[in-house]
Structure 1
Amino acid sequence: MITTTTGTAAAAQAPTDRTRNHARAAGALYLVTFLASIPALLLIAPVLDHTDYVVGAGSDTRVLWGCLLDLVSAMACIGTAVAVFPVVRRTNEALALGFVSSRMVEAGIIVIGVVSLLSVVTLRQDLGATTGATGEDAATLVTTGRALVAVRDWTFLLGPGFMSAVNALLFGTLLYRSRLVPRFIPVMGLVGAPLLLASGLATFFGHNDQLSGWSFLATLPIAAWELAVGTYMLVKGFRPQSAAGERA
């Protein structure tokens, strides 16, 4: 009888440990996306702020590091959804699959922005800086560089902007229903998502600047949600009673 009880307890413990590992992996990747994206934005500032970067004095190494961090953020973005999928699909498989898909779309948009900035660096190194372009050649390069930066600006709005709100709606709903984390955490995401969408739509139609005070305020709840859910999953994992219920 004792042997049977011990074996049953051990069998029940194994899934709990696997669930905790999924949660910790997702939490760590959430924090990676959060921590990589902020310095990346600072590192790529020269190419964003200087319209003549492609023909002027550049900080290519700095920009390349920023692009690399954005790539890390994009890959971690996908990893967060893949890590939690085996757990949250038991709550609603359609929503869980939607979350994985939306994360992949966000990562793809981010990569497009990275490629556009890498193209600016290549143009500067191959044509702008080495040949000392002047006159019409310089004007053409500047126009091309500005077009590529404009592509990156749109990817920043559509990726970390719109898709982050979609991610929060999907994942927040899954966590709220399953109670895998305290409910106040997904509530932050569910409240912040409409604010971020409203700000993004205002920017999309030209009624708001992407770096305005309103945009910053609208981003805060989503930033708090991602930081909170990532930290909780990394430190605490999923709540054992809720994870056990999901398995049942």
Structure 2
Amino acid sequence: MSSTRTAAVAAGVLFLITEVTAMAGLALYQPVLSDAEYVVGAGADGRVLMGGLVELILVVAVIGTAVVLYPVLARHDHGVAIGYVCGRLLEAAVITVGIISVLSVVTLRQDLAGTAGQDNPALVTVGKSLVAIHDWTFLLGPNFILGANSLLLASLMHRSRLVPRLIAVIGLAGGALICVSATAVLFGLYDQISVWGSIAALPVFVWEVSLAVYLIVKGFMPSRDTSAAEPRTEPSVA
């Protein structure tokens, strides 16, 4: 298997991992995110800690997509390739902040809640603040920054024809739509976890899944394979 084909398969697998872990992490976090008094209640710490572990896998996969794609993308547009790597690193960093905020609620519940002399209303306030941090990171990372990264990658894929144009167009539409939706959520037009939020997120989900499946099954398009961009070595004349 050529290095380009290996990169395609690896990127496809990593994109699928990001989709699965993003949804699983959000589901596992629900006891903290949906209960304002989780920090002083019985808690479901094991489930929440598992969510943190799943999201750590998400962080690794997000960075991994940029790392494995960089050598391929750089042969077509070095600036965009660098921008995509930086964007994915920023996205991973924002997600990590969200992980820390949620796990901090668990620490507060385990170490302080229920002990003599503790001010439970104050703990609830701190817990809500930490959840609010997670909610903002969830808006900035998997929405604004993800949308910008999708636009970068899809635009390069469209120009270079590394994948079919339809897939790249879905990425361009999905990246733009999720940025618009994130702006609407930012100004309170609707909640991020809502019918409209889900509809806006669907195209970028389709983009990443279709890109992942294509890269795993087909690899980069042969007519535009990066191997064609490699310089040819002329035989020396004795």
Aligned position for 1:83: 68
Relative distance call for 1:141 and 1:133 in structure 2 (3 A) is: farther
Q: 2:200 maps to what in 1? A: 218
Please give the per-residue CA displacement for 1:212-238, whole angstroms capped at 9, x wherever unaligned.
Answer: 211111100000001111111122211
Structure 2 match to 1:183: 165
- Residue 149 of structure 1 aligns with an amino acid whose one-letter code is V
How far off is 1:36 after superposition?
0.9
* 2:79 counterpart of 1:94: yes
Structure 1 residues 202, 127: CA separation in 2 closer, same or farther (over 3 Å shift)? same
State the partner residue of 1:247: 230
Q: After the TM superposition, which segments of 4 or more aligned residues of structure 1 sit over 4 Å from their partners?
A: none
TM-aligned CA distance change 1:175 to 1:132, over 3 Å: farther
Deviations 1:4-27 (A, max 9, x none): xxxxxxxxxxxx711001111111
Q: Which moved further from structure 2: 182-191 or 150-159?
A: 182-191
Instruction: Return the offset for 1:181.
Output: 1.1
Please tell me the residue identity of whatever aligns with 2:29.
I
Instruction: Give the structure 1 partner of residue 50 of structure 2.
Output: 65
* Residue of structure 2 in register with 1:106 after alignment: 91
| Percent pairwise identity | 47
1:103/1:145 CA distance change after superposition, 3 Å: same
Structure 1: distance between partners of 2:105 and 2:180: 31
Equivalent position amino acid for 1:117 in 2: V
Instruction: For structure 2, list consecutive stretches of 5 or more residues without a partner in the other structure.
Output: 232-238
> Of 132, 149, 152, which aligns to 2:131?
149
1:206 has 2:188 as partner: yes
Name the count of aligned residue pairs: 230
Mapped to 2, the partners of 1:234 and 1:40 lie a distance apart of: 24
- Provide the C-alpha distance between the structure 2 equivalents of 1:159 and 1:222, rounded to a whole number of angstroms: 14
The reply on whether 1:33 has 2:18 as its aligned counterpart is yes
TM-score, normalized by length of structure 1? 0.90
CA 110–61 in structure 1, closer or farther in 2 if over 3 Å, else same = same
| Distance in 2 separating the partners of 1:212 and 1:102 | 26
User: 2:222 is aligned with what amino acid?
Assistant: P
Measure the CA separation in 2 of the matches of 1:109 and 1:97. Answer: 19
CA RMSD of aligned residues (A): 1.3
Question: Structure 1 CA distance, aligned partners of 2:49 and 2:110?
Answer: 12
Picking from 46, 49, 58, the partner of 2:34 is: 49
Deviations 1:150-169 (A, max 9, x none): 00000000000111101110
Q: Distance in 1 between matches of 2:38 and 2:160?
A: 50
The CA distance in 1 between the partners of 2:89 and 2:168, in whole Å, is 21
1:121 equivalent to 2:88? Answer no
More helix per residue: 1
Which runs of 5 or more structure 1 residues have no equivalent in the other structure?
A: 1-15
